[in-house]
Structure 1
Amino acid sequence: MQVNCIAPDKDLGRALCIITGASKGFGRTIAKEISLLLKPRSVLVLAARSCDKLRELQADLTSSDVGKAGLVTRCVVADLATQEGVESVVRAAKEFSIEDMDHLILFNNSGSLGDVSCYTQSFTNMAEVDSYLSFNVSSALCLTARLLQAFPRQHGLRRCVVNVSSLCALQPFPSWVLYCTGKAAREMMFRVLAEEEPDVRVLNYAPGPLDTDMQVVARGSTADPEIRMSFLSMHSQGQLLTCEESCAKLMKVLLEDGYPSGAHLDFYDL
């Protein structure tokens, strides 16, 4: 697949970027790709539950050309399903001055597939459902709210919130009730934010079917045979997207900045 090229003279300015779920998959790729579009002395706050994988990413970024040119990275090992996890990310971001920054960007990428091995009528345990929604919905809302409070509107500062969405936010997938519910809730959450805060640029980006660990689980565990076979077919026919392919389109959208705030943009529509 041909990936859209980004003009080398375009950038996102000097920015403070917060990326959740940064240790692997799409979040890791976001960190690498956006680092190429930032001016020196920009900051990446990388949040995830895996300390080792975060340190590996930090080492990669630090040793790269952008790292040598002055990119600052800060790793935060956090469980975003808890209030303390959310607050630890906010504290790390607040360590850096926003005074001479051009851009504040939050990537709400962290999320989980949930149990796809059964159907809706099996979910009778409220604690299980609450735990899923806490990590996949509540944390995104609370982290976004806390960061917008910590870095309020100021002249010359662009504030942008990106929600990594999914086709599942719009369409029901049998046996994926937790995932579809979480993605739909997050989608509406950020559409409301766009209405309430017109100075904040809000984007719901659906990256398409990515070749990640989550896809491996989906192919092996999905209860619905039609959904499971569709993923198996995409995998066998080489139709899954690489994180780099999808992220290239996301970066292009952010650079061009022509989308309506709150919009849902899918990889295949761009």
Structure 2
Amino acid sequence: MSSSGGDLGRALCVVTGASRGFGRAVAVDLSRLVRPGSVLVLVARSVDDLRALQAELARPEAGGTGLTVKCVEADLAQTDGVERAVKASEEAAAAAEIEHMVLVNNAASLGDVSRCAQSFTRMAEVDSYLSFNVSSALCLTARLLQAFPRRPGLRRTVVNVSSLCAVQPYPTWVLYCSGKAARDMMFRVLAEEEPDIRVLSYAPGPLDTAMQTEARSTTADPKMKQMISDLFAQGRLLSCEESSAKLMKLLLEDKFTSGSHVDIYDV
């Protein structure tokens, strides 16, 4: 079911990791594709950056007229962080006649890429990574779907920001690859269980972000480190804005197979 008029309708859009990088670009693009009366909920651990984005989106020249923007400072690795994001979404949308709920699970971390898989012997360290990168995405998605259940006239779309690492193993990236692969399967299962929900795992490509800078400096595997460094040196990194535009195209056309993994280079 495609949206009419080239927009996403009067929507509640929840974006995690919205304070910078790809999440920020997605939030900006979504603000331009929703109708007046829509609500944009920005979730991240850095409230100052969220408020700066909120102020930017509120300017008339940014097209923010008629858009409610809510900032939520939350650590999604904690249950209370997930609940804070859900409560804020419910409250912000209470007075609006929402016809489309869009969740973009973007928040993620690289993890320790300076070590090989056999060095991860502390279960608490692995659990901590998976809590933020896997468990939080499932729990937030489940809670928001409960808060906005299936009803006539309501579309629901869930986006998982994925990676090539979900399908391709890379030495010393065991945490990141495992987390992305788990998330892809998690959302494939959701798509099978809930045919009325549009589910997409989108791999945004090699982006020019702080995470990419971290990867260039800390990756232990020499071949992997060289490959990442070459992307930067050769100017082959993509801007967050460029990749976000491709995601918006996918959402607007709404022709993807629900639950599928779509890479930016497939668009």
State how far apart, in whole Å, the 2-side matches of 1:68 and 1:262 are: 31
Correspondences of 1:130-149 after superposition (within 5 Å): 130-149=127-146
Structure 1 residue 65, shift from structure 2 partner: 3.2
Is the 8 Å Cα contact of residues 38 and 96 (structure 2) preserved in structure 1?
Answer: no
Report what 1:101 is aligned to.
98
Report what 2:22 is aligned to.
26
Counterpart residue identity of residue 17, structure 1: C
Of 114, 118, 124 in structure 1, the residue corresponding to residue 111 of structure 2 is: 114
Runs (4 or more) in structure 1 with deviation over 2 Å come to 64-68, 97-100
Of 216, 219, 226 in structure 1, the residue corresponding to residue 223 of structure 2 is: 226
Counterpart residue identity of residue 151, structure 1: F
Q: 1:68 to 1:174 in 2, by over 3 A?
A: closer
Report what 1:179 is aligned to.
176
Structure 1 residue 64, shift from structure 2 partner: 4.0
State how far apart, in whole Å, the 1-side matches of 2:253 and 2:95 are: 23
Provide the secondary structure at the position in 1 that maps to 2:6.
coil
Counterpart residue identity of residue 46, structure 2: S
Of 7, 16, 19 in structure 2, the residue corresponding to residue 11 of structure 1 is: 7
State how far apart, in whole Å, the 2-side matches of 1:76 and 1:47 are: 5
Of 43, 49, 67 in structure 1, the residue corresponding to residue 45 of structure 2 is: 49
Per-residue deviation, residues 12-71 of structure 1 (Å, max 9, x unmatched): 111000000000000000000111111001000000000110111101101143554211
State how far apart, in whole Å, the 1-side matches of 2:64 and 2:13 are: 18
* TM-score, length-scaled by structure 1: 0.95
State how far apart, in whole Å, the 2-side matches of 1:197 and 1:259 are: 15
Is the 8 Å Cα contact of residues 32 and 63 (structure 2) preserved in structure 1?
Answer: no
Is the 8 Å Cα contact of residues 57 and 63 (structure 2) preserved in structure 1?
Answer: yes
Is the 8 Å Cα contact of residues 42 and 72 (structure 1) preserved in structure 2?
Answer: yes
Gaps of 5+ in 1: 1-8
RMSD over aligned CA atoms reads 1.1
Counterpart residue identity of residue 20, structure 1: T
Correspondences of 1:52-71 after superposition (within 5 Å): 52-66=48-62, 68-71=64-67
Structure 1 residue 100, shift from structure 2 partner: 2.2
Provide the secondary structure at the position in 1 that maps to 2:22.
helix
State how far apart, in whole Å, the 2-side matches of 1:48 and 1:232 are: 28
Report what 1:89 is aligned to.
85
Counterpart residue identity of residue 147, structure 1: L
Aligned length: 262
Q: 1:115 to 1:48 in 2, by over 3 A?
A: same
Which sits farther off after the overlay, 150-159 or 97-106? 97-106
Is the 8 Å Cα contact of residues 98 and 151 (structure 1) preserved in structure 2?
Answer: no
State how far apart, in whole Å, the 2-side matches of 1:104 and 1:70 are: 17
Gaps of 5+ in 2: none
Correspondences of 1:161-176 after superposition (within 5 Å): 161-176=158-173
